[in-house]
């Protein structure tokens, strides 16, 4: 059955590319993906695959019932874009000012749609059910996964698989990892309230810029001196704003940053340390502050059995030449919520553009990926679903099931 599925996907690869490029031209940011959702619904309507819409917001959940008894497997793809201006010089450049698919979600959606179409053609030979989760708003917390789960997208699902096209990894490489593979992603915002004044009379002020600058330095001591070196953590300041005239000392300054961790205890400790350091730094400078700490997505933690299964299945794809265990990534993903509810695994599909030695990273204005990686992702996800359903089907029906080639 796998060889038949792979052949169907190869025949439909051009359609996959067309879908991806269309979506790339008409991106929509998180929580505003109305036309993208309509496009997905229209695709399933034309094929005749049943689905639920408006799941947890703009989410869509389609399903295919196989011709033989068995469990239920879910496959997930996200479809939101980012508030970034597309700077690529390509025919499929984004037509929406200030919005682009800079992370590959257009490719994820095209992959899952065409995979669903191919699996629908061989549905009578399948065991159990395959659920296709098209998730909105992965890029912006609280994200779409949590609300979709609350709206029932995982009801009756036994296992879930997902992948991310990864432009920094060579095409033909599939990367997996048991346990934590992506970090918890939190956000904090600190406003320092000093006392402004004339730049020539600093002794009559409480310089918020100096205080905030000292705070930036002090916060770096959390990872270097408060976190066990065996554990991983990141504290980064991404924004420092205290705009004023050249000869005026600002009365306030704002810092915005992110915290990335894998261990939940470390996550709790870092949050406490930030509060302690901000309080102490401002007390020393006789200034006040406001601190808002927002918990983002938890760490993506893959389940051992499903991860080992995926690693073995990935090698069945002809275009895959390397299946390897990867180091943990400090980037975040709300696929973590699915894995907190059911068994499953999340992996990376290499998608480095051909002939490019230094590809642009994800979230870059010139980001792009090798579209051939979509075929690899579709074959890997499809094989994982088919094989998982077959292996976990009731044994008494095994004689009626077509075994994988």
- The residues that are catalytic are 80, 138
The residue assigned the tokens 């006392």 is 195
d(C-alpha 404, C-alpha 379), whole Å: 13
d(C-alpha 124, C-alpha 400), whole Å: 11
Residue 142 CB neighbours (<10 A): 15
d(C-alpha 149, C-alpha 53), whole Å: 14
Peptide bond into 142 cis (omega under 30): yes
Q: For the chain, how are helix, strand and coil distributed in percent, rounded to 5?
A: 35, 25, 35
d(C-alpha 272, C-alpha 159), whole Å: 35
Q: Residues, the chain, total?
A: 405
What tokens were used for 284? 């020393």
- Residue 275's closest CA among 330, 238, 226? 226
Contact 110, 16 (CB under 8 A): yes
- Residue 2's closest CA among 392, 370, 389? 389
d(C-alpha 160, C-alpha 83), whole Å: 29
How far is CA 86 from each of CA 81, 100, 128, 273, 385, rounded to the nearest angstrom? 11, 6, 42, 38, 34
């Amino acid at each position: 059955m796998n060889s038949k599925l792979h052949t169907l996907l190869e025949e439909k690869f051009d359609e996959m590319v067309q879908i991806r490029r269309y979506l790339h031209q008409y991106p929509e940011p998180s929580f505003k993906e109305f036309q993208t959702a309509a496009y997905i619904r229209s695709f399933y309507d034309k094929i005749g695959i049943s689905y639920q819409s408006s799941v947890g917001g703009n989410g869509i959940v389609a399903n295919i019932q196989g011709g033989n008894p068995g469990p239920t497997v879910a496959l997930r793809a996200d479809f939101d874009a980012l508030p970034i201006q597309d700077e690529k010089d390509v025919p499929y450049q984004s037509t929406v000012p200030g919005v682009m698919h800079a992370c590959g979600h257009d490719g994820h959606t095209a992959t899952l749609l065409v995979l669903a179409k191919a699996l629908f053609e061989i549905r009578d030979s399948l065991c159990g059910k395959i659920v296709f989760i098209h998730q909105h708003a992965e890029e912006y917390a609280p994200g779409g996964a949590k609300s979709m789960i609350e709206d029932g997208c995982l009801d009756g699902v036994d296992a879930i698989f997902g992948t991310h096209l990864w432009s920094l990894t060579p095409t033909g490489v599939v990367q997996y990892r048991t346990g934590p593979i992506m970090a918890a992603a939190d956000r904090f915002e600190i406003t320092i309230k000093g006392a402004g004044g004339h730049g020539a009379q600093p002794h009559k002020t409480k310089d918020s810029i100096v205080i905030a600058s000292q705070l930036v330095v002090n916060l770096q001591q959390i990872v270097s001196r408060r976190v066990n070196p065996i554990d991983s953590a990141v504290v980064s300041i991404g924004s420092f704003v205290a705009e004023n005239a050249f000869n005026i000392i600002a009365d306030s300054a704002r810092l915005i940053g992110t915290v990335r961790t894998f261990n939940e205890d470390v996550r709790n400790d870092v949050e406490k340390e930030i509060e302690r350091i901000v309080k102490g730094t401002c007390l020393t400078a006789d200034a006040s502050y406001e601190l808002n700490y927002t918990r983002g997505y938890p760490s993506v933690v893959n389940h051992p059995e499903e991860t080992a299964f995926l690693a073995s299945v990935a090698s069945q794809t002809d275009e895959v030449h390397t299946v390897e265990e990867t180091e943990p990534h400090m980037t975040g993903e709300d696929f973590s919520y699915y894995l907190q509810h059911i068994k499953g695994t999340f992996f990376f599909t290499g998608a480095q553009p051909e002939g490019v030695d230094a590809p642009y990273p994800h979230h870059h204005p010139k980001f792009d990926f090798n579209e051939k990686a979509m075929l690899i992702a579709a074959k890997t996800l499809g094989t994982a679903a088919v094989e998982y359903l077959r292996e976990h089907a009731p044994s008494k029906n095994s004689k009626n099931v077509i075994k994988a080639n």
